[in-house]
Chains A and B, each alone.
Chain A
Amino acid sequence: MKALARLRQAIYRLLAALFLYPTEERWWALVQASHLLKPERVLAAFPFFLPWERLLRALANPPEEASVLQEEYVRLFAPGFDGCRCAPYESAYRCGQGASASWLCAELEREYASVGLALSNDPHEPADHLAVELEYMAFLCGREAEAWGRGTEEARELLDRERNFLNRHLVRWVPEFARSLAEQEAAAVYRAGAAACEAFVQQDFDLVCLLSRIQEARR
């Protein structure tokens, strides 16, 4: 269980980094990290393997200059005078479903604060940014991995927290975000990244539900 949590943490971290502004340093680190998560047998056990493989292929063939990707990032994700082409913010998809942007961000900040986290200034992104939510999941997975070494009760609580967060947030809007990105003329790495992100979030939610249920039954 510890190894599984560590693997999930690594994938969440990589996906989070992918949807942050691609500074040269960050991009280099991302490509290096992708080599560590290359499509090996163990990942083939999961249904997100095929989209994941496509993402790694796209990462292996990046544009020659980081500036090309930076322009693409700004074109796709940065808010212009007429809004974002493809907003990487939860509020862009869920406002109108009984939630407002400020209410959502406040709820997310409360959630982060409940485990002792606060939003950092670098990168300066709102609480409902895709990268922030994915990074939070990576943090929970990391805590879960540590908890498995200490006993199951704490790990079980963390699994519940992960399941609730995925259910209340990521699962509800990432598919729509991925669809909207798929409709754009976007760089291969972002299209593949959104598809892999959608597949991983959905798969992880199903897996966490199953693991929680098994842990609950063992209790």
Chain B
Amino acid sequence: MTAQPAAVLICADVARASRVNLAAVEAWFQKTDPHAVVRVVAGLCEGSGELDSVLLRDGAERAVLGLCGDGYDERELQSQLRQAGIDPLTASAVRLGRWCAGLPPEAATEKAKVMLAAAVAAARASGGSTVANAKPYFPARGSRRSFLRFPVPAYRVGPSVDGSRCAASAGCSLCVEACPFGALSVADGRIELDKDCCEGCGRCVSACPREAFHFPGYNPQEVEARVRALLDPEVSAIQPRGILFVCAGASPPPFLEAGWMPVELPCAAMAPAHWLLAPLLLGAVAVGVVPCERQGSRGCGPAVLQKVDFCQALLRRAGRPAELVRSHPPADQPPGTELPEPVPRADGEVRFHVRPEAVAAVLLRFVRHGGTSSWEHPGCPLGLVEISPAACTGCGMCATACPSEALQYGEADGEAWVRFDPARCTACGLCASRCPEQARGAIHVSRRLDPESLRAGSRQLLQTPLRRCVACGAPVAPALMLNRVLELLGEDGIQLQRVLTQYCPSCRPLWGAREEARRG
């Protein structure tokens, strides 16, 4: 398959800010990736790069920006990229000035190569953006076009919802609960996103088990492509390598050793637990997270710590050092130097998708290396559902509510059944909240990792005979449900009991008419 054409635009000032040898980077791209056009642009960060004339519409569909510092004229760059025919919201910005600073020239150049190659891989994995992903704002800095007396906004990238994948019509509101800014709401069975409130933290992306959110730059497949490329041994000789997830709101470490490969996220809490573990299966010797210092629910610290704690507990149970994953690792030292042999690679089985099956596949890789029994943890991304046969009526409401289809209800051969697939359960608890018999403890959901259940796969939780209509033979309801109805009706309403238990909804009016005729 031919690689998508991409433009790698590097600010000429990067060489001064970080001692990266830009000519060597350019030569390396020319040799290894003929579909990437590398241009060193004077004044790129200030927005005076005139990208439309630099790129001359040479067919690039994606762009990577190698920037010298943290501040750059976003509005001007966006405008110039659009004029060059490139969607700026899918452009991946790499702060070379920040991440390569302080390194010797050779190491800085090697690291710049790895980071730019990873950004190209992420940009190529991007599904593009739409206007729904663009949130306007007016930057404090004046525009170069301000002489027009024209209020020109800049645009920040944000998430959008794909209604065809969303389960809000079935009552799911996991993203609404995950959003710390109150930007999401359910209206008429649809998720509505208020761009004014959305801060683009991306927690909705990882909260949705159906992957209904699209967030250019931070979609699971883009993060996966980036991490894989950052760990690709063929790109650079830098070894060992670790992955460092950095919250956009965090103060970056003052110096980052060459082996630490940063992955910037809008909020570190958007990274689900399996993102912290997956790099270990792709060749990373350590994974670190740098959350922001923001306090309260909008800060990512507590959520990150819980996930790190879960990963460490899992590693310990698998007989691995817990320090393979940690918060605020010593980034000024090479990653993983004090650790024993790395985790064996498992490239093919590792996916960053946030669907629970992908999560389960990563977790199972670790469980495979050491026998571990079932255990509960508040940070566990998977769950276990148990049904009490004494209380469950087999109504199937739990399966209707389940957004990840971990619970399934079916009717066949005169039986009604409820099946459960532990590899699909996110322990969201929607099944329990929707169960009409929950007061009697019909469903129990626990945030638990049960390797045996995961290995065994889907299993039947309940099976009950279906009562059939005495008039037409169609199914009336599961026997357990009818028994419960009779129990609730008690001694009253013998006629009602008869009609409910013996006739299907279609035949009940006929039965009523017959009864009336019989009575005369």
Verify B195–A206 contact, CB threshold 8 A: yes
Q: Kindly name the residue among B78, B82, B153 whose own CB sees the greatest number of chain A CB atoms within 10 A.
A: B82
A42 adjacent to chain B (CB < 8 Å): yes
Given contacts A50-B87, A207-B153, contact A45 B137 (CB under 8 A): no
Verify B83–A202 contact, CB threshold 8 A: no
B89 touches which one: A39, A41, A47, A198 (CB < 8 A)? Answer: A47
Verify B151–A4 contact, CB threshold 8 A: yes
Verify B85–A50 contact, CB threshold 8 A: yes
In chain A, residues 80-136, which have Cβ atoms closer than 8 Å to a Cβ of chain B? 97-98
A47 and B158 CA atoms in complex are apart in Å by 13
Stretch at the interface among B126-134, B327-335, B433-441, B508-516: B126-134
Given contacts A50-B87, A206-B136, contact A41 B150 (CB under 8 A): no
Collect the chain A residues with CB atoms within 8 Å of residue B149's CB. Answer: 3
A1 and B149 CA atoms in complex are apart in Å by 8
B42 to nearest A CB, angstroms? 20
A159 adjacent to chain B (CB < 8 Å): no
Query: 0/1 per residue, A132-154, Cβ < 8 Å to B?
Result: 00000000000000000000000
A44 and B75 CA atoms in complex are apart in Å by 10
Instruction: Report how many A-B pairs have Cβ atoms within 8 Å.
Output: 66
A199 and B75 CA atoms in complex are apart in Å by 19
Across the interface, name the chain B residue whose C-beta is closest to A204: B131
Across the interface, name the chain B residue whose C-beta is closest to A200: B131
A207 and B87 CA atoms in complex are apart in Å by 19
A134 to nearest B CB, angstroms? 16
Collect the chain A residues with CB atoms within 8 Å of residue B409's CB. Answer: none
Verify B82–A210 contact, CB threshold 8 A: no
In chain B, residues 127-157, which have Cβ atoms closer than 8 Å to a Cβ of chain A? 129-132, 134-138, 145, 148-153, 155
Q: Kindly name the residue among B80, B87, B134, B148 whose own CB sees the greatest number of chain A CB atoms within 10 A.
A: B134
Verify B196–A198 contact, CB threshold 8 A: no
Verify A45–B145 contact, CB threshold 8 A: yes
Verify B150–A48 contact, CB threshold 8 A: no
Across the interface, name the chain A residue whose C-beta is closest to B78: A45
Query: 0/1 per residue, A180-204, Cβ < 8 Å to B?
Result: 0000000000000000001100110
Query: 0/1 per residue, B235-272, Cβ < 8 Å to A?
Result: 00000000000000000000000000000000000000
20 examples of A-B residue contacts, CB within 8 angstroms: A3-B150, A4-B150, A41-B83, A44-B79, A44-B83, A45-B79, A45-B153, A46-B153, A47-B89, A47-B129, A47-B131, A50-B82, A97-B188, A203-B134, A206-B131, A206-B134, A206-B195, A209-B195, A210-B196, A214-B138
Residues of A within 8 A of B (CB): 1, 3-4, 39, 41-42, 44-50, 53, 97-98, 198-199, 202-203, 206-207, 209-211, 213-214
Known contacts A42-B150, A45-B152, A50-B85; 11 additional CB pairs below 8 A are A1-B151, A4-B150, A45-B75, A46-B153, A47-B134, A50-B82, A98-B188, A206-B134, A206-B136, A206-B195, A209-B195
